[in-house]
């Protein structure tokens, strides 16, 4: 499941390959890729996407939360969200693509997505798009820290784990990195967010930043279908302490890692070092 480090890794790869290239042809094999749910948009919407996207020259690749933004020199942009199984790979098409973007210089960007939950949206002004404008704090930005996280958590009665996953509050974090950050900070995932003490908030803010930054350095976590923009797996899964390890031993204290359901997700934690 691509989260901030995986999207950031793909962004960095594409930023080396695509700026300055012109999008010459767009092929939409699965029109539902333009809506994010498995309903087909009307043919006019597909034609409109193609008409607006074709001919654009890529200026920059940007990221906000789990969104990858392909910005064109005229200010228009395609927003990609990979959801569960989306992949964006510069490669030869093999017929499994939902979308194919052919660029000048002969490069093709293939959007593959086994579960078909991802999406690609064209927008004139991506910063004002409701999906982007409503996103919460960016944990790898300068504004992140104890003070910012403290404001987010204040007065909240919900457990901390789902609060960290709420994209309107904090953007880019999913189950992998919330689980790892809470373990690193020594905080149980079901603690009410508003009851976490000041000193713990500072540790947690640092842990969130550290697990994300470390994963970016390791080019993301490949436990399922995630690969980078050249189709290569990341290495961050080699360093996870508790995510996906229920029943195993905690690498820090050797207690048995447990799992509980929180916000509809299985969340791993260590009863030895998380309080
Ligand atoms: Zn432990």
CB 103 within 8 A of CB 78: no
What value does the mean pLDDT take over residues 165-193?
A: 98
Query: What distance in Å separates the CA atoms of residue 161 and residue 178, rounded to the nearest whole number?
Result: 6
pLDDT tens digits for range 198-252: 999 999 999 999 999 999 999 999 998 999 999 999 999 999 999 999 999 999 9
pLDDT tens digits for range 2-22: 999 999 999 999 999 999 999
177 Cα to the center of ligand 1, angstroms: 16
Q: Give the per-residue pLDDT at 109.
A: 98
Residue 134's φ and ψ, nearest 5 degrees, are -90, 5
30 Cα to the center of ligand 1, angstroms: 45
255 Cα to the center of ligand 1, angstroms: 6
9 Cα to the center of ligand 1, angstroms: 29
Q: Give the per-residue pLDDT at 39.
A: 75
Closest CA to 91 of 103, 79, 80, 82: 103
15 Cα to the center of ligand 1, angstroms: 39
CB 158 within 8 A of CB 164: no
Unique residue bearing structure tokens 């996103």: 135
Sheet holding 86-90, edge to edge: 23-28, 99-103, 108-113, 86-90
pLDDT tens digits for range 47-90: 999 999 999 999 999 999 999 999 999 999 999 999 999 999 99
Active site residues: 2-3, 66, 265
- Residues 176, 270, 161: CA angle, nearest 5 degrees: 45
What value does the mean pLDDT take over residues 15-33?
A: 97
Q: Give the per-residue pLDDT at 195.
A: 98
252 Cα to the center of ligand 1, angstroms: 5
pLDDT tens digits for range 124-156: 999 999 999 999 999 999 999 999 999 999 999
What value does the mean pLDDT take over residues 174-196?
A: 98
């Amino acid at each position: 499941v691509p989260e901030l480090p995986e999207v950031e890794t793909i962004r960095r790869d594409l930023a080396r390959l695509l700026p300055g290239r012109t999008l010459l042809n767009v092929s939409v094999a699965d029109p539902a890729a333009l809506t994010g749910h498995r309903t087909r948009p009307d043919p006019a919407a597909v034609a409109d996407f193609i008409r607006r996207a074709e001919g654009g020259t890529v200026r920059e690749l940007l990221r906000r939360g789990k969104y990858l933004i392909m910005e064109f020199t005229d200010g228009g942009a395609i927003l990609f969200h990979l959801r569960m199984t989306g992949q964006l790979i510069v490669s030869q098409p093999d017929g499994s693509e939902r979308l194919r973007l052919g660029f000048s210089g002969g490069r093709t960007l293939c959007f593959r997505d086994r579960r078909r939950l991802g999406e690609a949206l064209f927008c004139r002004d991506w910063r004002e798009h409701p999906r982007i404008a409503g996103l919460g704090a960016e944990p790898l930005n300068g504004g992140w820290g104890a003070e910012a996280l403290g404001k987010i958590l204040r007065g909240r009665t919900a457990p901390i784990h789902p609060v960290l996953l709420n994209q309107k509050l904090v953007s880019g974090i999913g189950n992998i990195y919330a689980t790892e950050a809470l373990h690193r900070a020594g905080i149980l995932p079901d603690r009410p967010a508003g009851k976490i003490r000041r000193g713990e908030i500072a540790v947690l803010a640092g842990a969130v930043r550290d697990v994300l930054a470390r994963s970016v350095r390791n080019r993301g976590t490949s436990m399922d279908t995630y690969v980078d923009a050249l189709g290569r797996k990341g290495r961050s899964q080699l360093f996870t302490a508790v995510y996906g390890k229920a029943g195993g031993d905690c690498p820090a204290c050797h207690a048995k890692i447990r799992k509980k359901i929180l916000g509809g997700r299985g969340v791993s934690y260590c009863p030895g070092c998380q309080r």
